[in-house]
Chain A
Amino acid sequence: MRTRDENKELKIRQKALAMVAKFGYDAFSMQRLAKEAGVSPATIYIYYKDKEDLILSLYQEESRKMADETLKGFDSLMPFSEGLRIQWINRAKYCMKYPEQMLFLEQIKLSSLHAKAWPMMGDDFRSRMKEFVTNAIKNKELVKVQVEVYWSVAFAPLYNLVRFHMAGKNMGGDAFVLTDTVMMNTLELVLKALRP
């Protein structure tokens, strides 16, 4: 008979998140986690059925947190430029505030677990994003392109700047800081590109 210990569970979750963020899901194992967290493998299995169970539970928590942060002050029926501006600010803030969690989510996206993890985010975030885009197209504020193209133009530039910022340097190794001005100037270019 074994009992639960909330502090231990928290430590297991924090370590697991950090390990996946750093090395990826496929390299992660319960044995390695046990060593890193300073607990026995048996202890981890008190809380989770297996590696997948643990990581999916973390993904659910983290993806919902990301969604909540992204949707702060956002309304899917807003004018397109305003809605995208709020999302850029929110997404950038999330990345700066939770860099490890962001890397964790990225690692899961690239892993073999992605198909199972994706639905755990919940429908709310996706349906609001969809409504935002549909509404903008209907109002002739946004060009109609396939979703991958939209996402790549609308958000990838931001994430790339965030990546430079977090590394503290650009692609050539020169120092780089993402300021509000740089971000808003880039957003202007993106909005221009997405206009019908």
Chain B
Amino acid sequence: MMNATISATVADTAIFVFKTNIRLLRDVRRVAQVLDADARIVAWNVDRQDTDHVLRVLTGTLDEAGIISLIQLAGYTCVALPD
């Protein structure tokens, strides 16, 4: 629902999606402090309307585990959504 609009997709940007407990606006703000400060992240958003509070991240260099540890560092759970 919020945050970073997806800019022009760079050729080798990957998309990762996670189930989280980033529920409230203030949770999103807390996560934003970490994600916005990280230059490796191209864009991200949290769908707060969804039951899984899906976090979607576009990145050129980070991998799944890297994103998970960033979110955990901010104090939230973050599990990769299976295909």
Contacts and interface: CB of A to CB of B under 8 A. Distances in A.
Interface of A: 1-2, 29-31, 40-43, 45-46, 49-52
Interface string B68-83: 0000000000000111
Given A30-B50, A49-B47, 12 more contacts: A1-B16, A2-B14, A29-B49, A31-B51, A40-B83, A41-B52, A42-B81, A45-B17, A46-B17, A50-B1, A50-B45, A50-B50
A50 B81 contact: no
Nearest to B18: A42
B50 A51 contact: yes
Band of interface residues on B? 10 to 19
Given A30-B54, A41-B52, A52 B17 contact: no
A30 B1 CA distance: 13
Contacts of B47: 30, 45, 49-51
B56 interface: yes
A40 B81 contact: yes
A31 B50 contact: yes
A49 B15 contact: no
B14 to A, nearest CB: 4
A42 B83 CA distance: 6
A25 to B, nearest CB: 11
16 contacts: A2-B15, A30-B47, A30-B50, A30-B54, A40-B81, A41-B52, A41-B54, A41-B81, A42-B81, A42-B82, A45-B54, A46-B15, A46-B17, A50-B45, A50-B54, A50-B56
